[in-house]
Structure 1
Amino acid sequence: MTKKISCDYFGEGETLYFNIMRLAEFEKSIGRPLQRLFIEGFFLDDLFVAYEIALRHEGRRKPQFYVDKIQELVEKKGLSISELTTPIQKALIASGVAGKQAYYSMFPEEMTEKDEEDLKAEAEAAKN
């Protein structure tokens, strides 16, 4: 099941998510591997495209809609680009693309004892 993240920035009650197809589309659109995105951070263009892809199920909107709305959120609501990036980062991590450690760091309430043991075993294996 794909984990959806709440995001009311563009419409009340909306959710965003990335599945494998959306991840591939996003990676292709930004022209770099998603792992580099986590290391280098988001460019503004990445943010517009990410919202367009992650909210597609809420209705097709052009990237320009997100450009205009983000400008409005920054000017009128006083939101920072960092605040606007957070839901996208959460949705990417929720997709599993950043690995189990990142997933359970973001959603610790979901970790079971078995998950904790698996993570410890992976960490131990990585040391060797």
Structure 2
Amino acid sequence: MKKVQFEIFGDGQYLYFDIGRLIQIEGQTGKSAADLITRQDLSFSFMTVLLSVGLRQHGIKTPQWYADKLSEKFSNFEISIDDIAVPLAKAIIGTGILGKQLYYNTFPEELTPKVKEELEVIEKN
């Protein structure tokens, strides 16, 4: 589990997902959170569910609450779609469900020499 800074709705906030949260997302949407990355699903309904689950530690808010706040911020040109999609994708990748290679490509600062060797072996095979 990787915490990803996400301060669009408040200072000090961060996103994270774990298996339990991913199960909640699947239950609410019928989609896998990996769909955001693998299929580049950027629908607002999906993203607002991801936000309601991924930011839950900062207070439980509904997807509609996030939709209203996003609408306000987009209308005022305070954010772009990338400000939402990129951190969501990073938080999903941070669970490790999409594999080591993508994880360390996304978070290269965590790459150790030992892991680098392991990834090189994987790439050769």
What do the CA deviations read for 1:48-100 (whole angstroms, capped 9, x no partner)? Answer: 00000000011111111100111111111342222211111111111112211
Match of 2:64 in 1: 64
Structure 1 runs (4+) deviating above 6 angstroms are none
Instruction: Give the deviation of 1:120 after TM superposition.
Output: 1.3
Residues in 2 aligned to 1:67 and 1:50: alpha-carbon distance in whole angstroms: 11
User: RMSD over aligned Cα, in angstroms?
Assistant: 1.4
TM-score by length of 1: 0.88
Instruction: Give 5+ residue unaligned stretches, structure 1.
Output: none
| Structure 1: distance between partners of 2:89 and 2:35 | 13
Aligned equivalents of 1:47, 1:33: Cα separation in 2:
12
Contact 2:25 2:31 in 1 (8 A): no
> Identity over aligned residues, as a percent?
35
CA contact (8 A) 2:15 2:91 kept: yes
Partner amino acid, structure 2, of 1:13: G
Spell out the pairing of 1:1-128 with structure 2 (5 A cutoff). Answer: 2-41=1-40, 42-125=42-125
One-letter code aligned to 1:29: Q
What's the TM-score, normalizing by structure 2? Answer: 0.90
Give the helix-richer structure, 1 or 2: 1
The count of residues paired between Structure 1 and Structure 2 equals 124
